[in-house]
A and B are shown apart, each in its own frame.
Chain A
Amino acid sequence: MENNAAVRGLCKNFGDFCLDEVTFGIPAGCVVGLIGENGAGKSTVIKCILGLVRPDKGETEVFGKDAAFLSKREREEVGAVLGESCLPENLTLKEVSGVMARIFSSWDEEGFFALARRFSLPEKKKVREFSRGMRQKAALAVALSHGARLLLLDEPTSGLDPVARDEILDILYDFMRGGEYSALISSHILSDLEKLCDYIVFLHEGKVVFFEEKDALSEKYALFRGSAEEFSALGPCVAAYMRGEFGVSALVYRRAAPAGARLEKAGIEDIMLYYSRGERL
């Protein structure tokens, strides 16, 4: 499948933290969820794709071109939401629209205000008077109003209440239904990503642990809970494990597990938790 964006062998050293050979793609028409604990490098990867952080090594490609050499028109086809804040707080939405119309040649004012109304955002209030959720929605409305084919969203639902999160996810779901759009969404609220994503990239300490189709994950991994004796009988199918008061729990490769082993379905959160905090054999 053709990728709308891809990173290959991305490395960036910050001294106390580094991205190490990060490689994955964002297939056209798909949503890729970027997961990992705080400080895993999710934001840095998104910033590298957007050209805000210069990688030490590796390639970032958007629409088949080196991301550093995108034309202005091509850059407009990438919509970004970078955390909570990015819109000028002293401006009203009407003024924000005026600014964006001077930045984006394909600015859709009507579409922007339609989204603002759908999000119940007041047009005449300054952005600084908005709640956190309203700011996120305003940033998302901007990202969806300049003809973007690729969305890069860094923690778009972070800090929002469940209702606001659900509204944002609905909007993203509608946006993606068109089929020709792609999105990379970083989040540590994994239930959000489970609703939306086709693929999952798991970053841990700057490295990609896996880049897989979401549905394949539940086929690939399973959870085991049992006694230490039962655990030792599992053999090499164990990806990571944790010892508890009542025995051992483990993330296992389903296909490699011995026949008859008691296995449960592993969610994305389980997979992330075991890879992040579990011990390896």
Chain B
Amino acid sequence: MSHPPRAVLAIVAVLALLFSGCASHTALVGSDDDTLIYGTGEVPRVLNPAVQSGLATATSGAQLFASPVLLTKSLEPKPYLAKSWDESDDGKKVTLHLVDSAKFHDGVAITSEDVAFSLDVVKREHPFGANLFGPVTSVDTPDKHTVVINLSRRHPALMTAMSPPFLPVIPKHVYGTGDTVADHPQNSQKVVGSGPYRLRSHSEGKRIVFDKVDDFFMDNSKAPKSVIIEIISDENTLSLALEKGEIDMMTTNTPSVTQRLSRSSDLTVAEQGYEGIGSLGWLGFNVKSKYLSDKKVRQAIAYSIDRDYIINDLHRGKLSAATSPIASGSPYHDDDLPEYDRDLNKAGDLLDDAGYPSSEDGKRFDLQLDYAPTSNEMSTSVAETIKANLKEVGINVRIRSSADAPTWGNRVANYDYDMTLDNVWNWGDPVVGVERTYLCSNIKKGVLWANMSQYCNPKVDELFKNAAAAPDEKTRKELYFDVQEILTDELPILPFETQQFRNIYSDTVVNPPNGPFGIMSPLLNTSMEG
């Protein structure tokens, strides 16, 4: 009787050892009936949006936590935990009337105390807390289902501030036990939420699994039984997984991915959604740097850049031009602003006027260009285009790359730059995501996405301040139109494109979340076919 060679036995033994632990190492055991699998490259730090901003946390947060209101496509509030609300004539008192059947996932009833507690936590601990709830002086809870928010002034952004990305209602009896909520262990694991889905498991950096809450206070009967957020960091792999049917839906603003997936007959690329985000691609100027302190130089740069090429060729016509610091999806966006169409003669004249005539070799001066290290398509290629464009008017651009986001952030937040490419979100209301970039009071060295251009114009500050407390929508709109006019002329920032996010989903997904905050909204109306 012959025996197998020892080497073969050894190999079999090694392989058996290697595979011995593979069974369901990361997989979910069960069936995929009525499960929505959402793929994303975004890795949440925590799952509690009360203490963390950003798409990754808000995506899970919207499923785990309910908020006082939801927003319609036109960013109008509609009932959620608050079935109705009243505002006093002077706008300084807003009263919310809560539904009386809502419960946290541990079965405890949601009361006005919890809403007041959540608002206080967000005001103190959320990066946007001061913008969202700065004017809130106190919150009264006259009974279990009534919340009275007292304000120092009228605060039109309040309703946006009480929608899912910003104000999750968290249980006071769970999160109110320590000094701060930011370091609470139940921000990532064993989360006790108030939303339409409860947390089943969270494998950090890999997967988050949610199960539908059956006795949710709103109708979620058609919603998928389970939702899985599958984290796939490489966007190419993510899109291939969608094409192959391993995931059901993803979100992207990368033009090449959108273009490729739109060719698939099994997938749908949503035309609408994410208007509330207002994602702008822009060129930020450090207005304290030698050459860029002059408005004419900034305008000359705007006239030199070939935006058509960036949008239609580099970004394949999948993104749209931006002309204003307030994104086009916002009701406060001004459509009639002057545009900086490419005009090299005008650019040259402006640079001459600014006192920088070209030398014999056509050169005027040097500038450094940084960029936020996102994908090559959205950053490096745009930087190379701008370098080539500015060379034509005699500005020599040195591109400086950063190895990672913290390196870039450290440079620009500490004003160690001339120009930088960046992608910044409006976040629904100018109070939340726009004024932070321009207010004199928000020039905070070391703070990323504060007023990093160091631009300061008291007139702009006054317009923003008045708009934030405007007595009516018409006045508010006019004030924001005025501020856009000034900012488009003075150009501390040059927005050049709206980086439209889109949901891309398979045929099995019915009614995907294509609202103003997209996937950062509760999945109440989405369902799975078959």
Do the two chains belong together in a single complex? Answer: no
Q: Which residues of B contact A (CB under 8 A)?
A: none
